[in-house]
Structure 1
């Protein structure tokens, strides 16, 4: 089934991708291949002490979003901002469809979908072709 909207909750270990319409939802979980680890810089060691982003993980999340018209990206920590940067650089088509990037701890699936539906409803009202009277 094809859906126009999606929301992605992601952290360094996994992403939960929800494609949804008015009445139905499809959920997919994607595990990171090499979850970010806390890496500390030590004196006398070459390198910045930062773990590199998992591009295969970001590719799989991006592929899970194929066919959507708009999406939201939320989650705790830096993984969501890394994903947003990744789509800007490597998937500009998907980046243009990104409605927003927001912090979120660990909501339930129901809370996540309620938030997404409310956000898309507000975005739809702001469009110039939004109907002002019921059809």
Structure 2
């Protein structure tokens, strides 16, 4: 099922992608990679692998709201701008939130997109 809107919640260990419309919600979870090595830079590579997987999960979604901790959002935004610039236009906003439930995330995102779409002149689906 391909849905138009999604909310992404992430921290540095996992991400949840919740695609939704007025009636349906489709969830996907992405876990970070854990490579326990003493090699210099392995933490950066691991983070890049994680963010690459998150970006892959967002492929084909027209509008994405990114949520989570401020530092995780900032790191993800930097990764997208540097490594996945084609994805950047799909990200319509960033909101700092703690650990809401999936239902709370979708409710918040629905409100966000209702306002966002109205400002953009996009008709609200009924």
Q: Give the TM-score taking structure 2 as reference length.
A: 0.85
1:124 and 2:111 equivalent? no
Is residue 19 from structure 1 mapped to residue 19 from structure 2 by the alignment?
yes
Number of residue-to-residue matches in the alignment = 119
Deviation at 1:16, TM superposition (A): 0.6
RMSD: 2.2
TM-superposition CA deviations, 1:57-116 (whole Å, max 9, x none): 001100101111110111024122111111111111211111111210000111100000
Residue in 1 that maps onto 2:56: 63
Counterpart for residue 31 of structure 1: 31
Among 99, 112, 129, which residue is 2:105 paired with?
A: 112
Higher mean alpha-carbon deviation, 6-15 vs 88-97, is at 88-97
In structure 1, C-alpha distance between the alignment counterparts of 2:18 and 2:67, rounded to whole Å: 12
Q: Which blocks of at least 5 consecutive residues in structure 2 are unaligned? A: none
Which structure has the bigger radius of gyration?
1
1:4 corresponds to 2:4: yes
Q: Which runs of 4+ in 1 moved over 2 A?
A: 128-131
Tell me whether 1:52 sits opposite 2:44 in the alignment: yes
Deviations 1:26-78 (A, max 9, x none): 1011111139xxxxxxxxxxx9xxx5361110011001011111101110241
TM-score, length-normalised on structure 1? Answer: 0.80
